[in-house]
Amino acid sequence: MARKLSTETWSTSLLDSELGPPPEPDRAGVLGGGSVPRGQRGAIGVETSSFTGGDSDVSGLAVALFARVPFVEHTFLDVRVPFGLAMDERTDAVLGNVMLGAHHVGRVGRTLWLTVGGAVGLATLSGQTHNHDSYEPVGASRAYWDLHEYFPSILPVHARLGAEAHVGPLIARAQIEPVLYIPLGRNEEYEIAIQHAAELQIGHGIGGGVRVQGMAMPTFENVGIRHAVARNLYVLALEPFLAMEREAAFVRAGLLLPLDEELGPPLDHTWGFHFTAGVRTD
């Protein structure tokens, strides 16, 4: 019996040396088909956000079709096609600035991932003949996050830096995204916006959490295109959310609550509903 055990142990050791140790199991099921978290994988989907003014008849709806297409390992090509609908005395529909870009997700250690990337707009909105006042409720529907998608007469250049960490059932995310507004047409003013956010989620496959986002617009006080953001150069918002991440699809819904003086207080002056859903492409 001792000889048999010794032979089995020797055979197992030889197999390990040839094939390497067995892969570590994905206990939480968060990595899906590779070493990228499910929420960072390739996808095709839709993102919507709505805005309702509590003391007025103004409302807005933003809809963005997006795709993250795997290009090379952990690198994705990005496309966003934004549409908007603003309603007050009349209803205006608009095609926003289409964004094309790419990003890379790198793993740092066992539980941390960093994302770096960027995008350039096609200035689609600059060629349209709408009254630019009608774009403001559409941008307000996300508390001015991604305002460049609905800002006229610019060519936007968008940089992205993000981080995601997993600690047991907790997921922590952070992002900072500066955007340069290059003027076009009659607009002669360069502007810069710095959008940033942090969120904490409990649960991987099905979870919930809270997101805090800020939109800093330090140069917009003398913005070349008249816009409501010139009255408030920093917009803060809170978003409690629920999310479900599966191997083939995902969905997330949140209630966007602006906290600043211009759009807030939450549930009194304005509020928004934020919804994202899609399917995987990898």
The confidence band for 190, taking pLDDT boundaries of 50, 70 and 90, is very high
The confidence band for 127, taking pLDDT boundaries of 50, 70 and 90, is low
The confidence band for 29, taking pLDDT boundaries of 50, 70 and 90, is very low
DSSP-derived 3-state class of residue 119 = strand
Helix or strand holding residue 59 (H, E): strand 59-72
- Strand 59-72 versus strand 43-53 pairing type: antiparallel
Give the integer Cα–Cα distance in Å for 134 and 114: 37
Give the mean model confidence (pLDDT) for residues 186-206: 93
Give the mean model confidence (pLDDT) for residues 63-70: 96
CA 196 to chain centre: 10
Considering the chain, what percentage of its residues have pLDDT values greater than 90?
50
Give the integer Cα–Cα distance in Å for 170 and 160: 23
Give the model's pLDDT for residue 237: 92
Give the integer Cα–Cα distance in Å for 7 and 13: 10
Give the integer Cα–Cα distance in Å for 193 and 154: 13
Give the integer Cα–Cα distance in Å for 197 and 235: 12
Residue 268 has pLDDT above 80, yes or no: no
What are 99-121's pLDDT values in tens digits? 999 999 999 988 999 999 999 99
Residue 245's beta-bridge partner residues? Answer: 250
pTM: 0.82
Considering the chain, what percentage of its residues have pLDDT values greater than 70?
77
Residue 216's beta-bridge partner residues? Answer: 194, 234
Give the integer Cα–Cα distance in Å for 269 and 266: 6
Q: Which of 2-6, 20-24, 31-35, 148-152 ranks highest by mean pLDDT? A: 148-152
Give the mean model confidence (pLDDT) for residues 132-136: 63
Q: Which of 26-30, 150-154, 248-252 ranks highest by mean pLDDT? A: 248-252
| Burial of residue 113, with CB atoms counted within 10 A of its CB: 0-12 exposed, 13-18 middle, 19 or more buried | buried
Q: Which of 114, 110, 191, 196 is nearest to 151 (CA)?
A: 191
Q: Which of 32-41, 172-181, 268-277 ranks highest by mean pLDDT? A: 172-181
Give the mean model confidence (pLDDT) for residues 257-261: 81
Residue 26 has pLDDT above 50, yes or no: no
Give the mean model confidence (pLDDT) for residues 134-155: 85
Give the model's pLDDT for residue 187: 80
Residue 8 has pLDDT above 80, yes or no: no
Give the model's pLDDT for residue 2: 43
| Burial of residue 244, with CB atoms counted within 10 A of its CB: 0-12 exposed, 13-18 middle, 19 or more buried | middle
Give the mean pLDDT of the chain: 82
Tell which wins on pLDDT, 206 or 140.
206
Give the model's pLDDT for residue 18: 44
Give the model's pLDDT for residue 33: 44
Question: Which token pair is 144?
Answer: 């001015």
What are 167-178's pLDDT values in tens digits? 999 999 999 999
Neighbour tally for 72: CB within 10 Å:
8
Q: What is the rounded radius of gyration, in angstroms, for the C-alpha atoms of the chain?
A: 23
